[in-house]
Structure 1
Amino acid sequence: MTQRLVPLLRPSQSMAPQRRNRSRFVPGVAIGIAALASLVPFAYLVIVSLRPSSQDGGSLWAELFSSVPIGQYMLNSALVSIGSAVIVVVVSALAGFGFAKLPYPGSKAAFAVVVAGISVPVATTILPNYLNLSHVGGVGSYWGPILMYAAGATPFSTILMANFFRSLPDELVESGIADGAGYGRVFTEIMLPLSMPALVTIGVLAFLGAWNDLLIGLLFLPDPDMRTISVGIASLESVRSSNLDLVLTGSLLSAIPPIAAFIAFQRYLVSGITAGISK
């Protein structure tokens, strides 16, 4: 009887590796298609940027830099994006630590308000913020859009940091307090080093959001010399309305810093977002 059962078990056992391979093949194909769909537009931009200029037959890159102060636009975007990212990281880390490890009466209600802030579209706040900041010199100054970008990214970043800090044992804080370190030293010497993946994640996301934005930069920085790269690329249509290749070349240049930031910090991004949404 045993000898008859053994052959019957072998086919099902041999099918198990095939099923596992099939289950891995389908997601792999889907990921490959998604990756290809993402790379095709970027590859097209690279091909276009290598074409000769329609104006004088020279390089499109040379025409781009001669048409607009593209270097100044890049510096303006870097200033605004890095400034807003720094504010987001500092505020979100402090707020997240407070919500996660220092509960106080009404902290749950305050955290609910932060969560509700995610549902508020940025476009609905631009007009009142524009009017308010125009009275205090925020329009036409770099700090105006910096605050706007930071305010828009802080709610999500605070939630991510609070969830990350909740995933850390409370004993870390308790042991530090017992040793006389105080909450300030516990935060800076224990919690911040452990939260580096989450900090890098919110910093990169805040940087990318500010770098790629067009509307806030267009409204709050009306001076042509203070334009961000997104606004500067949009202005190319009025400078060379018939040369679409020039606009696409500028778009490629604008995409390089975000891609470089993502590649440089990709190992932190996955772990940071996973830890921030795990609870």
Structure 2
Amino acid sequence: MAPLRRRRRVATRGWGKFTMIGLAALASVVPFGYLAVISMQAPSGGQPGDLWTTLFREVPVVTYLRNSTIVSLGATITTVVFSTMAGFGFAKLRFRGSHLVFALLVISIGVPGVATILPNYLNIARLGGVGTYWAPILLYAAGSLPFATVLSASFFRALPDELIESGVLDGAGFPRLFAGILVPLAVPVAVTVGVLAFLGAWNDLLIGVLLLPDPEMRTISVGVAALQGVRVSNIELVLTGSLLSAIPPVTAFIIFQRYLVTGITAGITK
């Protein structure tokens, strides 16, 4: 009887976990389904799909999407490049005070971006960065770098030192060793860091509002937020714009989800 009871307990726990995962997935899917249904409804006196036509006709969403793509990809590339190099340096090229610097880097992960937005804005304004693409790219990358560097360092620390030593003995310098051997091995972590940086930059509103005041340089998040009470009062149109804004990050997450799981697991467990 004991083995039978044990199997029943295992089965019950399995169904419980499955139910919790299903509820979490349902809670994530329902909002997108609701937005999709609202966006395809016919407005008063109109036809189904008119909301999308109105959105593209009255709002420069293509320009907003272009601006978001420039800023998000710029921040993503910057984060991936510098976090990968810094992670390798902290993991394999130890220097005096590296442990202290790494500890400060870990502590900085807990500092909210809102706490530093005012001094960052003042500094960027003095440099003439307000209204330029490089300013939000720099801030988004700076906000993503601490966690990205820690994750990359965890991955590189798990690689055997013999791999690097053999490369050095074969005559490969550290730049060649890093670019030719270690970077291909770090693809899962690099993709994980890149997707997280992209999502953070794409969905952010505050930095875009402060550093891109020109309507022609608005990102899609800022553009959708500006719809309500400024250009239109149609909540259905605002929800349609929100759905359009959510499509690129959701697509990126779906495409790279396999790398995300691998990269985060490698950075935590190794």
Pairing 1:195–2:171 present: no
Q: Is the 8 A contact 1:92 1:157 kept in 2?
A: yes
CA-to-aligned-CA distance 1:212-266 (integer Å, 9 cap, x gap) = 0000001100000000000000111134543100000000000000010001000
Q: Is the 8 A contact 1:88 1:150 kept in 2?
A: yes
Q: Is the 8 A contact 2:227 2:233 kept in 1?
A: no
Gaps of 5+ in 2: none
Name whichever of 49-58 and 69-78 sits farther off.
Answer: 49-58
Q: 1:55/1:121 Cα in 2 relative to 1: closer, same or farther (>3 Å)?
A: farther
**Residue 170 (structure 1) aligned to one of 149, 161, 168:** 161
Aligned residue for 2:132?
141
Aligned residue for 1:6?
none
Normalising by structure 2, we get a TM-score of 0.96
Name whichever of 76-85 and 62-71 sits farther off.
Answer: 62-71
**Residue 83 (structure 1) aligned to one of 74, 96, 101:** 74
Aligned residue for 1:3?
none
- The whole-number CA distance in structure 2 between the counterparts of 1:212 and 1:266 is 18
Pairing 1:67–2:67 present: no
Pairing 1:153–2:153 present: no
Name whichever of 52-61 and 210-219 sits farther off.
Answer: 52-61
Name whichever of 243-252 and 118-127 sits farther off.
Answer: 118-127
Identity of aligned residues (%): 58
Amino acid at match of 2:172: A
Normalising by structure 1, we get a TM-score of 0.93
Q: Is the 8 A contact 2:208 2:219 kept in 1?
A: yes
CA-to-aligned-CA distance 1:104-140 (integer Å, 9 cap, x gap) = 1110011011112112111111111111111222100
**Residue 272 (structure 1) aligned to one of 257, 263, 266:** 263
Q: 1:56/1:23 Cα in 2 relative to 1: closer, same or farther (>3 Å)?
A: closer
Gaps of 5+ in 1: 1-10
Displacement of 1:27 after TM fit?
Answer: 0.5
Pairing 1:26–2:16 present: yes
Aligned residue for 2:171?
180
Q: 1:240/1:223 Cα in 2 relative to 1: closer, same or farther (>3 Å)?
A: closer
Displacement of 1:55 after TM fit?
Answer: 7.0
**Residue 227 (structure 1) aligned to one of 209, 212, 218:** 218
Aligned residue for 1:5?
none
SS at match of 2:229: helix
Amino acid at match of 2:2: S
Aligned residue for 1:244?
235
Q: 1:150/1:55 Cα in 2 relative to 1: closer, same or farther (>3 Å)?
A: farther
Name whichever of 123-132 and 246-255 sits farther off.
Answer: 123-132
**Residue 94 (structure 2) aligned to one of 89, 100, 103:** 103
Q: Is the 8 A contact 2:136 2:207 kept in 1?
A: yes
- The whole-number CA distance in structure 2 between the counterparts of 1:277 and 1:219 is 35
**Residue 255 (structure 1) aligned to one of 246, 250, 269:** 246
- The whole-number CA distance in structure 2 between the counterparts of 1:211 and 1:204 is 10
Name whichever of 145-154 and 115-124 sits farther off.
Answer: 115-124
SS at match of 1:238: coil
- The whole-number CA distance in structure 1 between the counterparts of 2:223 and 2:113 is 22
Aligned residue for 1:53?
43
Q: 4+ residue stretches of structure 1 with deviation over 3 A?
A: 54-58
SS at match of 1:188: helix
Displacement of 1:278 after TM fit?
Answer: 2.2
Aligned residue for 1:44?
34
Amino acid at match of 1:244: I
Displacement of 1:21 after TM fit?
Answer: 1.4
